[in-house]
A and B are shown apart, each in its own frame.
Chain A
Amino acid sequence: MAAPALDRAPAAPRRRRPARRLPAALLWGGAIIAAVVILIALAPAIAPYPYDEMNILARLQPPSAAHWFGTDEFGRDVLSRVLIGGRLSLIMGFGATALCLALGVPLGLLAGYRRGRVDEAIMRVMDVIMSFPPILLGLLVLAVGTPSFWKAVLAVGLVYVPSMVRLTRSVTLNLVSEEFIVAAHARGEGAAYILFSEILPNAWPPIAVEASLKVTFAILLGASLSFLGMGAQPPSSDWGLMISGARPLVNSAPWVALAPGLAMCLTVIGINLLGDGLREALDPRMVRAHRQ
């Protein structure tokens, strides 16, 4: 038996897009990163020992109840050092990415919007920068003066500027020919309004995904530089530096290297998951669209 006929308004508004399920990767990545960030933020409070407290009597002790991750060659507590050192890795990752965004996005917007000479000039400079393999460029920048952590952040940030410029530029180029941008021109909007109110809000999803990738690249490259002795300096407990210091001890006390290494892997996997989840959530092609 048919249900009583409902009176359908002829122009019933199309229902809202169905609420999308958040991708699992986003949730997992978010959870891991949240945990890592909280632990590291609370590190000064929860670390069982000061990170640089030496104890000659307790050198190279394997993991135990007193020292969960054991101690290093100076008897320092590895767990405390990993917790405190994580801050440097996060600063490296997010600081370098912030720098790269701050330089790369405006340049990319400008190149894509103005085109012509401005574009040409910006892109040729970027090409030169990109002609160096990333680590070489980092080393080149760091070769000036004594190495330090902040210089390493600067170097890593600079290394990734060109790819950010390229991405922003290509997104901008695609958007500039969209009809709603032409409409903005047609009603007489200025360049600043078009760039920041019309283009940027639509350009940020791919930029955000790219930035999340950059965070992991930056953490890894920064750690590599520290490992090579070109970044953070002893006695700081940067993860890369800790592993570098533990390299000769691998045979006798592997935990000294394993603890910071695993911490770094966990962090990077978390950010990668977050980035993938972000891409899935933002990329309309990947959303199972209502087939019509």
Chain B
Amino acid sequence: MAEPLLAISDLSLTYETPRGALQALDGVSLAVEAGEAVAVVGESGSGKSSVALAIMGLLGREAMLSGSIRFEGRELTGLDAKARRELRGRAIGMVFQDPFTSLNPSLTIGEQVAEPLVYGRDLRRSAALARAIAALGEVGLANPAALVTAYPHQLSGGMQQRVLIAAAVIAGPRLLVLDEPTTALDVTVEAQILDLLDGLRRDRRLGMLFITHNLGVVNRIADRVCVLYAGRVVELGSREEVLGSPAHPYTKGLLASLPRLSLGERGRRIAPIPGRFPDLTDPPAGCIFAPRCPFVEERCRAETQPLLELAGSRAVRCWKSGALGAWPAPGPPRAATHPLPAQGSAPLVAAQTLSKLYQRGRAGGGLAWSRRLGVLPWPRLRSEIVRAVDRLSLAVGRGEVVGLVGESGSGKSTLGRIMLRLVEPSSGRILFDGADITALPQKALAGLRKRAQIIFQNPDSSLNPRRRVGEAIGRAVVLHADGRVPDLRARVERLLDRVGLPPAYYDRYPHQLSGGEKQRVGIARALATGPRFIVCDEPVSALDVSVQATILNLLGDIRDELGVSYLFISHDLSVVAHIADRIAVMYSGRICEMGTAEAVLAPPYHPYTEALLSAAPTPIPGAQRRQRVRLRGDSAPAAAERAGCPFHSRCPRKLGAICETMEPPLLEPRPGHSIACHLPLAELARVPPVIPAEPCARACGGFDPS
């Protein structure tokens, strides 16, 4: 049998830390054939990025590596620095995660793309630049000849990622290593980039090693999958096998803990993976997954698990894998103890034609004397007005969860903060419990502050690092109590218990908690004042999938028990679809579609909703979209392009001049469901559903949905 393009075998990586040796990778083996895409999947800490850096020879000096990496039959691990370097770019290309920091800010795009040719293939600069223009065109950038002289900061994120890809493939590598190449991008842009990579792979017969945490992306791009947990390969196989009938408990758990983008899923609890990631300086003896595995037996803890070969190219690191049932179901669907309010009852919170305008840059120049070390603002003669929120109305009923979906920069976070008066609106009204709170001075907002709270995205920044958990929660209790609170500690401990944390956490500092635990503390802090309304601002986006599931369950339980209302903000449609009663889709400061979750997820769609749904990757093999809707471009409309429908600059179904000049009317396909579009309803209704009506049972990681 011919040698594969890339063959890694028994790769181990150790770091020396003050607490002892840290085993970042342990006996990793995998292979990539020419023209094949292999995905390495894992959560943070799984060591997946280390695999990429080891292949490139870019690990730091302190990394101790053993095992073998063979590329086209040639052993890489022992090569000297010069030979390694000559392989990079020319034989193996790499694309990093964050396009914003991976391009050199002070070199032109052309220089950066042409570079590998100039220094690697000894091409003359002019010839290399000509090739760079061709390469930029190949990765789908419009007007590449003009782009060559541009600087990175003048490009959008999606364009920057295309430039990085062009630079990685220009010298004709046979293998492309991609480290989370789409994680920093919006879904619609992600879909475009994945299409591009798919095409490159086919056209150039590129082998691809695709590192990601996103099972949906895996399903979209990979031929074979390698699941990494705590530095060990736990499962290896084709995409259909691994995603369709996972054999290792960890893979089963990962799939089960994903919220699904489907109608049948709503309201169901997701099955999380209990416990937490092992300490790699002191890994558990025996099976590495044993502390979190629901199928664990005595033998698992006693024996180190080898990677067992199954039929075909499959391998699993679990002795029980043949005889496992489904991942345990998480309990019955939530009982809706607080039924939804009847249509027509007064909403709890309402935004009426709210607008928020920001001025970018300083008007008129003035005598700004800013210099040194800070940002030097580029003076604008004519300052640009950014409409973060544009004449938008939205109401949240009592006990209702309204999901607000939008991509980065759509203004969804700003809207959430305006509704709590944390950001002042430029115009419009906010009603809370029927009272107009738009103009109340901050001092008079005590009532609102007590009854409306917020939960944040970033667990690291949402807690004051110098404050104990108990103090952080207790402060909110004290502030809204009349007089002293004698049983403060007990009350805080009750709140901790409510979010599933032991009372001992009262005395912990944030840095002693994991991301999910910090998020729980953030929720307890929000609950401390006994709110009726909580803005959840991307509460699970920064978490690993297995943790995400527990937090989503917790938020669902709290809603059901206490009957609070949420404005649930997220960029992830599947998360919103899972928890929300009603969904509002936001684009560039405006709501383009709003309605019950069932209505929004089924046709007729607003063209933008359709594109979002079509772009959202799902991990169900075979459930590929019949047709893919792709947006043009990847950046929000400039101020000048906002006239008419704000989506017109990217809409694939744009009608023509009418979309650019006239504000679209509100269509009402059914009561409570509204779509802002010039297209006639009949035409919108002709679109086939993007997501399957019923999830297939087999596809759900073996977990029976009934």
**Which residue numbers of A lie inside 8 Å of B, CB to CB?**
2-3, 5-6, 8, 10-18, 21, 123-124, 127, 166, 170, 178-180, 182-183, 185-189, 198, 201-202, 288, 290-292
Residues of A within 8 A of B462 (CB): 179-180, 183
Asked whether B301 lies within 8 Å of A5 as measured between CB atoms, the reply is yes
| Chain B 461-477 per-residue mask, 1 if CB under 8 angstroms from chain A, else 0 | 11111110000100110
**Chain B window 641-670, contacts with chain A (Cβ cutoff 8 Å), 1 for yes, 0 for no:** 000000000000000000000000000000
CA distance A124 to B465 in the complex (A): 33
Q: Please state if A182 and B417 are interface contacts (CB–CB under 8 Å).
A: yes
Tell me whether A127 and B458 are in contact (CB under 8 A). no
State A93–B151 Cα separation when bound (angstroms).
46
Q: Which residues of B contact A15 (CB under 8 A)?
A: 279
What is the minimal beta-carbon distance from B635 to any residue of chain A, in angstroms?
23
Also in contact, A183 and B449, with CB within 8 A (given A16-B512, A202-B465, A291-B15): no
How far is B467's CA from A198's CA once the two chains are assembled, in angstroms? Answer: 9
A17 and B17 contacting across the interface, CB-CB below 8 Å: no
Select B453's contact among A14, A127, A187, A201, beta carbons within 8 Å: A187
Instruction: List, in ascending order, chain B residues with CB within 8 A of A17's CB.
Output: 511-512
Most buried by A among B290, B301, B480: B301
Q: Are B275 and A11 within 8 A (Cβ)?
A: yes
Contacts of A186 in B (CB 8 A): 420, 422, 449, 452-454
Q: Does B323 contact A (CB under 8 A)?
A: no
Q: Which of B24, B453, B522 contacts A291 (CB 8 A)?
A: B24
B543 to chain A, nearest CB (A): 14
Choice from B280, B417, B463, B505 contacting A180 with Cβ under 8 Å: B463
**Neighbouring B residues of A13 by C-beta, 8 Å:** 504-505, 508, 512
Chain B 272-293 interface mask (CB, 8 Å, partner A; 1/0): 0011110110001110001110
Would B456 and A182 count as touching, CB distance under 8 A? yes
Q: How far is the CB of A205 from chain B (nearest CB, A)?
A: 10
User: Distance in Å from the Cβ of A6 to the closest Cβ of chain B?
Assistant: 8
Q: Mark B431-461, 1 if CB is under 8 A from A, else 0.
A: 0000000000000011001101110111001
Q: What separation, in Å, do the CA atoms of A13 and B505 have in the docked complex?
A: 9
21 pairs from A and B in contact (CB 8 Å cutoff): A2-B286, A10-B275, A17-B512, A123-B370, A166-B373, A180-B472, A182-B454, A183-B456, A186-B420, A186-B452, A187-B449, A187-B479, A187-B480, A189-B479, A201-B464, A202-B466, A288-B18, A290-B19, A291-B17, A291-B24, A292-B277
In the bound assembly, the distance between CA atoms of A179 and B280 in angstroms comes to 30
CB distance from A54 to the nearest CB of B (A): 50
Query: By the criterion CB–CB under 8 Å, are A8 and B276 in contact?
Result: no
Closest to B371 in A: A127
Is B7 an interface residue, CB under 8 A from the partner? Answer: no
Q: Which residues of B contact A178 (CB under 8 A)?
A: 461
Q: Chain A at the B interface: mostly helix, strand, loop or mixed?
A: loop
Number of B interface residues in the complex (CB < 8 A): 67
| Smallest beta-carbon distance A117→chain B, Å | 12
Tell me if B525 is interfacial: C-beta within 8 Å of chain A. yes
Which of B45, B276, B301, B529 interacts with A187 by CB under 8 Å?
B529
**How distant is the Cα of A3 from the Cα of B282 in the complex, in angstroms?**
14
> Across the interface, which residues of A come within 8 angstroms of B472, CB to CB?
180
Q: Verify B22–A291 contact, CB threshold 8 A.
A: yes
9 other A-B residue contacts (CB within 8 Å) besides A2-B303, A5-B302: A10-B275, A13-B505, A180-B461, A183-B454, A183-B462, A186-B454, A188-B480, A201-B467, A291-B22
| Interface residue from B277, B291, B450, B464 paired with A202 (Cβ < 8 Å) | B464
Chain A residue nearest in CB terms to B537 = A179
Once bound together, how far apart are the Cα atoms of A288 and B291, in whole Å?
Answer: 28
B378 adjacent to chain A (CB < 8 Å): no
Point out residues on B near A: beta carbons under 8 Å: 15, 17-19, 22, 24, 44-45, 274-277, 279-280, 284-286, 290-292, 298, 301-304, 369-371, 373-374, 417, 420, 422, 445-446, 449-450, 452-454, 456-458, 461-467, 472, 475-476, 479-480, 502, 504-505, 508, 511-514, 522, 525-526, 529
Complex Cα–Cα for A290 and B526 (A)? 30
Contact present for B445 and A188 (CB under 8 Å) = yes
User: A292 to B249, alpha carbons, bound, how many Å?
Assistant: 23
In the bound assembly, the distance between CA atoms of A154 and B78 in angstroms comes to: 64
Considering the chains assembled together, what is the distance between the CA atoms of A16 and B508 in angstroms?
A: 9
Q: Say whether B466 contacts A201, CB under 8 Å.
A: yes
Report the bound CA distance from A212 to B275 in whole Å: 44
Q: Please determine whether B15 and A10 come into contact, CB atoms closer than 8 angstroms.
A: no
Chain B residues within 8 Å of A189, by CB: 479
Q: How far is the CA of A228 from the CA of B194 in the complex (A)?
A: 70
A292 touches B461 (CB 8 A): no
Contact call B18/A18, Cβ cutoff below 8 A: yes
Q: Is the CB of A288 within 8 A of B17?
A: yes
Q: How far is the CB of A208 from chain B (nearest CB, A)?
A: 14
Q: Contacts A179-B456, A182-B454 hold; do A188 and B449 have CB atoms under 8 A apart?
A: yes
Cβ contact within 8 Å between A14 and B513: yes
Known contacts A170-B374, A187-B476, A288-B17; A180 and B464 CB within 8 A of each other: yes
In the complex, chain B residues whose CB is within 8 Å of the CB of A198: 464
CB neighbours (8 Å) of A182 from chain B are 417, 422, 454, 456
Given contacts A10-B274, A187-B449, contact A179 B457 (CB under 8 A): yes
Distance (Å) between the CB of A278 and the closest chain B CB? 17
Shortest Cβ distance from A199 into B: residue = B464
* B514 with A183: CB separation less than 8 A: no
Shortest CB-to-CB span from B462 to chain A, Å, is 4
A200 closest partner in B (C-beta): B466
A170 to B422, CA, bound (A): 21
Per the bound structure, the CA–CA distance linking A166 and B371 in Å amounts to 11
Q: Say how far A11's CB is from chain B's closest CB, in angstroms.
A: 6
The answer to whether A2 touches B302 (Cβ under 8 A) is: yes
User: CA of A12 to CA of B276 in the docked complex: distance in angstroms?
Assistant: 8
Shortest beta-carbon distance from A8 to chain B in Å: 5
